[in-house]
């Protein structure tokens, strides 16, 4: 037992001493370490091809156009003759109606029609196509806005009245009150060449309010006030009690019986109108009568037939059930999907929606129809997005010209064709690099050899301009020509190698007269360099690009 324990102890000590001994030797006897960065170069020959940018989305088939069957009068449904989902022809019977209940509706409408016609007759008996506008009360006409030949409501719409009246024969103005001036003090008012009497009506805040006859000055005219032969200055005249004369009459002005500053008493003539249209009340009754007449005619025809027919050919989307209760007017009794155009609404990510526009062509592949692709176009792009899990999407409506195989509710995938270019130079995205000066590629220099010494610049740095691109290729608009060879560089993982010259452990330790075995010399295995696969594939329409890949190394010492 003691011998076994002793053996184990020796092995443990040997392991510890060996580890630390190796570390010490490596630090003091030059253990070499090397790191090699492997770099692969794939050659790609620039060629022409086609490139397109698309946006995809999934959706469900629907029909955009619908037509409702509704009536502007109430009916009671006896029986539903078709079901939702059925294809119906124009004029096909959809609903059976209760004709007895329909007769009650006809009788009610006839009573309303009779009342309407009575009211129309009453209005017609009192109607005249001419009218005389008269003064509603006494007043002096200070401003007149009408003239012969005008349509009087045009004047009302533009000015708001047909005349401005002064009702109390007075106008007023305000001046600074003179010393000695009091209520009822008489003054003189000069209006142009006329001088008339005035009187102080009130004095407030150092201002005297002077009234005078309204027969000389106009509203807003300038007057001069004189007190004790001394002028108090000029000021603006205003109507003391203004009144705007208006009318609701319509028609053309045939004659005007008033002038500015005329005094008119109540019921005096102002103007004569001709070609007065019928009243709005009569026009409304006339429309109501036509409506009742049309409804009664349609109800009588419906009563004779007993059914409601499809207004157009289509698919029944919904239809009311038979019920003893009356269906009120304007209720949708049936809704039909009509027309050949079908719709699909797809959701487009916010990063792609800026590229989608009305009119763009779309290819649609239906999940249930695998042997064909349908053509469509973008008919509507929603301006309001919906956020889901931090991503905003927008609804895009597609219009499809389909066939009889397409059924409502079918699922499909839509590919919206955003942009396409043909027969253009293409460069792989992986060959492109960027700097402050723009995008560039490494073009193979046929006179130079790619080696480890030139790995940092494997070719000729060539700046390019690009157009349309997808996830694999970009259109080259300048900088390259067909046949140019570009290098696709890719740096592999770094590998390291190390070696040491060995040492004799027996010199370090001796236990129980035995000597420790020599560790011998050894070396770490070398990590061989590898090479990336060569060659590349050009997009549709282009020539085959690429070539062999050259392995190169860039070595650095520690």
Residue 167 lies in a domain: yes
For helices 99-125 and 280-305, give the axis angle rounded to 10 degrees. 160
Domain presence at residue 118: no
Q: 410 and 356, same structural domain?
A: yes
Whole-number pLDDT of residue 25: 55
507 falls within a domain: no
Task: Give the residue from 129, 150, 381, 375 showing the smallest Cα distance to 256.
Answer: 150
Residues 264 and 156 in one domain: yes
Domain of 384? 53-64+339-421
Same domain assignment for residues 84 and 102 = yes
| Domain identity same for 164 and 266 | yes
Tokens found for residue 284: 């409304």
Based on the fold, state whether residues 155 and 262 are members of the same structural domain: yes
Q: Which pLDDT does position 536 carry in this prediction?
A: 39
How far apart are the C-alpha atoms of 168 and 150, rounded to whole Å?
30
Residue 15 dihedral angles phi and psi, to the nearest 5°: -65, -45
What is the arrangement of strands in the sheet containing 242-245, beginning at the earlier edge strand? 242-245, 163-166, 139-144, 263-264
CB atoms within 10 A of CB 105: 21
Q: Is 320 left (phi over 0), alpha (psi -120 to 50) or beta?
A: beta
Q: Residues 306, 440: one domain?
A: no
90 and 217 co-located in one domain: no
Note whether residue 231 is domain-resident. Answer: yes
Q: Confirm whether 467 is domain-assigned.
A: yes
User: What total number of domains does the chain contain?
Assistant: 4
CB 484 within 8 A of CB 443: yes
- Is the CB of residue 317 less than 8 Å from the CB of residue 338? no
**Do both 434 and 368 map to the same domain?**
no
Tell whether 142 and 211 lie within a shared domain. yes
- In-domain check, residue 281: no
| Nearest-angstrom CA–CA distance, 467 and 462 | 16
Measure the CA angle with vertex 237, ends 231 and 239; round to 5°. Answer: 145
The token duo for 470 is 């997808």
Are 169 and 103 members of one domain? Answer: no
Q: How far is CA 303 from the centre of its chain?
A: 48
Residue-level length of the chain: 558
pLDDT tens string, the chain, 558 residues long: the values are 556 666 667 676 777 666 666 665 555 544 444 444 556 788 999 999 999 889 999 999 988 788 999 888 888 888 999 999 899 999 999 999 999 989 999 999 999 999 999 999 999 999 999 999 999 999 999 999 999 999 999 999 999 999 999 999 999 999 999 999 999 999 999 999 999 999 999 999 999 999 999 999 999 999 999 999 999 999 999 999 999 999 999 999 999 999 999 999 999 999 999 999 998 999 999 999 999 999 999 999 999 999 999 999 989 989 998 875 677 888 889 999 888 778 999 999 999 999 999 999 999 999 999 999 999 999 999 999 999 888 999 999 999 977 888 888 899 999 999 888 999 999 999 999 999 999 999 999 888 765 444 456 788 999 999 998 888 999 999 999 999 999 997 655 555 544 444 444 444 444 444 444 444 444 433 333 333 333 333 454 444 444 434 433 333 333
User: Rounded CA gap, 408 and 62, in Å?
Assistant: 5
CATH number at residue 361: 2.40.30.170
| HEC-encoded secondary structure of 382-439 | CCCCEEECCEEEEEEEEEEECCCCCCCCCEEEEEEEEEEEEEEEEEEHHHCEEECCEE
The pLDDT of residue 178 = 94
Answer whether residue 17 is part of any domain: no
Can you list the alpha helix ranges (DSSP code H) found in 95-246? 99-125, 152-159
Rounded to whole angstroms, the Cα distance separating 73 from 75 reads: 7
Per-residue pLDDT at 115: 96
3-state secondary structure 271-326: EEEECCCCCHHHHHHHHHHHHHHHHHHHHHHHHHHCEEECCCCEEEEEECCCCCCE
Q: Output the pLDDT for position 537.
A: 39
Check residue 27 and give its pLDDT.
54
| 553 and 440 in a common domain | yes
What's residue 229's pLDDT? 93
- CATH number of the domain to which 296 belongs: 2.40.50.100
pLDDT at 546: 44
Domain boundary among 421, 440, 473: 421
Q: What is the pLDDT, as a whole number, of residue 63?
A: 85
In a domain, 151, yes or no: yes
Say whether both 307 and 203 belong to one domain: no
pTM: 0.49
Q: Are 333 and 327 in contact (CB under 8 A)?
A: yes
CA atoms 110, 111, 115, 116: torsion sign: negative
C-alpha distances out from residue 425 to 28, 42, 248, 356, 529, Å: 60, 18, 77, 25, 35
Beta bridge mates, 143: 164
Q: Is 258 exposed, middle or buried (0-12, 13-18, 19+ CB in 10 A)?
A: buried
Query: Can you read off the two tokens belonging to residue 302?
Result: 């419906």
């Amino acid at each position: 037992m003691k011998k076994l324990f002793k053996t184990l102890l020796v092995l443990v000590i040997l392991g510890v001493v060996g580890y630390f001994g190796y570390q010490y030797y490596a630090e003091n006897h030059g253990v070499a370490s090397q790191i090699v960065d492997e770099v692969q170069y794939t050659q790609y020959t620039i060629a022409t091809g086609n490139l397109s940018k698309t946006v995809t989305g999934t959706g469900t088939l629907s029909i955009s156009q619908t037509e409702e069957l509704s009536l502007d009068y109430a009916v009671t449904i006896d029986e539903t003759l078709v079901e939702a989902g059925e294809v119906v022809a124009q004029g096909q019977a959809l609903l059976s109606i209760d004709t007895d209940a329909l007769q009650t509706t006809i009788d009610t409408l006839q009573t309303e029609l009779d009342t309407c016609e009575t009211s129309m007759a009453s209005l017609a008996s009192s109607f005249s196509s001419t009218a005389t506008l008269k003064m509603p009360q006494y007043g002096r006409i200070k401003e007149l806005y009408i003239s012969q030949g005008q349509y009087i409501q045009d004047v009302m719409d533009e000015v708001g009245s047909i005349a401005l009246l002064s009702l109390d024969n007075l106008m007023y103005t305000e001046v600074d009150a003179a010393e000695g001036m009091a209520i009822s003090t008489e003054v003189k008012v000069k209006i142009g060449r006329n001088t008339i009497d005035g009187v102080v009506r009130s004095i407030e805040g150092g201002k005297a309010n002077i009234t005078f006859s309204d027969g000389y000055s106009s509203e807003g005219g300038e007057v001069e006030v004189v007190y004790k032969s001394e002028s108090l200055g000029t000021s603006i005249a205003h109507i003391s009690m203004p009144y705007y004369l208006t009318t609701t009459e319509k028609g053309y002005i045939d004659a005007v019986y008033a002038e500015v500053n005329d005094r008119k008493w109540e019921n005096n003539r102002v103007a004569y109108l001709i070609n007065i249209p019928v009243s709005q009340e009569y026009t409304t009754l006339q429309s109501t009568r036509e409506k009742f007449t049309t409804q009664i005619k349609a109800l009588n025809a419906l009563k004779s037939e007993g059914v409601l027919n499809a207004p157009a050919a289509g698919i029944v989307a919904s239809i009311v059930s038979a019920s003893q209760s009356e269906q009120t007017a304007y209720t949708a009794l049936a809704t039909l999907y009509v027309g050949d155009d079908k719709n699909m609404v797809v959701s487009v990510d916010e990063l792609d929606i800026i590229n989608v526009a009305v009119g763009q062509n779309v290819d649609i592949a239906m999940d249930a129809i695998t042997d064909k692709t349908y053509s469509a176009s973008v008919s509507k792009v929603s301006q309001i997005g919906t956020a889901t899990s931090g991503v905003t999407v927008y609804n895009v409506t597609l219009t499809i010209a389909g066939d009889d195989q397409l059924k409502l509710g079918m699922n499909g995938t839509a590919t919206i064709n955003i942009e396409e270019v043909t027969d253009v130079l293409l460069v792989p995205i992986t060959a492109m690099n960027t700097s402050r000066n723009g995008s560039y590629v490494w073009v193979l220099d046929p006179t130079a050899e790619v080696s480890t010494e030139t790995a940092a610049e494997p070719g000729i740095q060539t700046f390019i301009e690009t157009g349309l691109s997808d996830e694999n290729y970009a259109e080259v608009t300048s900088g390259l020509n067909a046949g140019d060879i570009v290098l696709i560089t890719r740096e592999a993982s770094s590998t390291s190698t190390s070696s040491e010259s060995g040492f004799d452990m027996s010199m370090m330790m001796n236990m129980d007269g035995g000597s420790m075995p020599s560790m011998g010399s050894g070396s770490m295995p070398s990590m061989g360099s590898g090479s990336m696969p060569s060659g590349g594939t050009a997009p549709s329409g282009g020539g085959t690009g690429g070539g062999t890949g050259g392995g190169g190394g860039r070595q650095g010492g520690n």
